[in-house]
Structure 1
Amino acid sequence: MLRSSSKTILIIAAAVIIVVAAVYLIVGPLGNGTDRSGAPAGGGEAAVLAPYATGAMENFKQEVPAKAAPDLAFKDGDGKDVRLSDFRGKLVLLNLWATWCVPCREEMPALNRLEAAMGSDRFQVLALSVDKDGHDLAKAFLAEVKADHIALYNDPTSRASFAMKAFGLPTTVLLSPEGKEVGRLVGPAHWDGPEARALVEAALKAYPAR
């Protein structure tokens, strides 16, 4: 009788192992919430950019799922009204900066080189100065550092920082073509390095224009 019970237990244990192994092969490790393609179980959004948060991009944090960004209002280089929604249809790297912010000034040339290398109808570096009444200051600084690939945009109200919950400068937010925040990096970074380019390229694939 005891032997029969032992055999039954062994058979049940073996069956459980087989079922668990089958589930592992189909959906991956239990509890990771993703299928074998890296997409979350149930068809949600995956943290596809997380593997690119290395080196110069180690402080980049992906927003999963992506969230709608506020439709910021600001001025272009000619003083005309512009909204963030005007840039829909392309991946946007929104950099909030100010002329009084030393780290912002130091990273601007790198942002300019990134725009020069990767700027297109699919991707744009949007450097938004939040200097109060700082149009002329921002324009003079961009000219000083020869940021000839960066267009001048200014928010004289500085409301953009509060709307984007950017409590420190610089803050750089990656926006999808649909205008959703897919991630951000707080603080300065080497935006012209290979890690930054790899991150942008991965985002272009993950969030294609529609």
Structure 2
Amino acid sequence: MVQMKPKLIAMLAGAALLAAGAVYLIGRGGGNPDDEAALSGSAAALDAAATGEVANFRAGAPLALPEVRFVDGEGRDRTLADFRGKLVLLNLWATWCAPCREEMPALDALQAEMGSERFEVVALSVERNGLELARAFLKEVGAAHLGLYTDTSGKANFTLKAFGLPTTLLLSPEGEEIGRMVGPAHWDSEDAKALIEAALAAY
């Protein structure tokens, strides 16, 4: 078997993420500078707030999502509908995804600072090896403010068209997707917090 050098692997992974982002943007009708002019109201405000550490975030018109099923830390069945009424930052991750592992403490810090009756970070593990592996990892990195949610079927990735990990979706209080970011981000940065504040004001 041909062995690939780590640098080549990283380049291929980066290309895959870019391709996934392109597929998503095409599906949403984005990817063109003129599209920003087409955004109106809340979407435009959110798009304008996506700068600095979250400059790769792409806002769009509210998009209804299909049902996504998973379980919580107690093994109870949950769906995204359970979070209606809140702005939700939905992060899809897995323990085998290095960038996911690196950004988890930042997601935890964002939840600790901004989590409320109006906003929640929902970190959804798509770890096929089960609930306990995800639980152990969150404990390992000291993520004490995030709920434990996992989809061992891996269906969430396909249902939400998340073609690379991590992928983070921002959901309106009505449960509609209003934007997403493919790849990791410093979610505890001032840029990220400003994005969430803009979404709370707009939606």
- Pick from 53, 56, 62 the counterpart of residue 53 of structure 2: 56
* TM-superposition CA deviations, 1:82-118 (whole Å, max 9, x none): 0110100000000000000000000000000000000
**What's 1:175 paired with?**
171
**What's 1:3 paired with?**
none
Match status 1:102 vs 2:98: yes
**Contact residue 43 and residue 178 of structure 2 kept, 8 A:** no
Mark the CA change 1:46 to 1:166 in structure 2 (over 3 Å): closer, same or farther: closer
- Find the aligned partners of 2:95 and 2:131 in 1 and give their Cα distance: 10
Shift of 1:70: 1.9
Shift of 1:71: 2.0
Residues 122-201 of structure 1 mapped to structure 2, 5 A cutoff: 122-201=118-197
For the residue of structure 2 that corresponds to 1:49, the secondary structure is helix
Match status 1:78 vs 2:78: no
**What's 1:21 paired with?**
none
Mark the CA change 1:46 to 1:151 in structure 2 (over 3 Å): closer, same or farther: closer
Hey, which of these two has a bigger chunk of helix by percent?
Answer: 2
Higher Cα radius of gyration: 1
Q: Which runs of 4+ in 1 moved over 3 A?
A: none
* TM-superposition CA deviations, 1:30-66 (whole Å, max 9, x none): xx568xxx64xxxxx6421111111100100001x21
Mark the CA change 1:125 to 1:46 in structure 2 (over 3 Å): closer, same or farther: closer
Mark the CA change 1:113 to 1:46 in structure 2 (over 3 Å): closer, same or farther: closer
- Percent of aligned positions that are identical: 60
Structure 1, gaps ≥5 residues long? 1-31, 40-44
* TM-score of the two chains, using structure 1 as the length reference: 0.77
- Find the aligned partners of 2:198 and 2:119 in 1 and give their Cα distance: 12
Structure with larger RCO (C-alpha < 8 A, sep 6+): 2
Q: Over aligned residues, Cα RMSD in angstroms?
A: 1.3
Mark the CA change 1:143 to 1:181 in structure 2 (over 3 Å): closer, same or farther: same
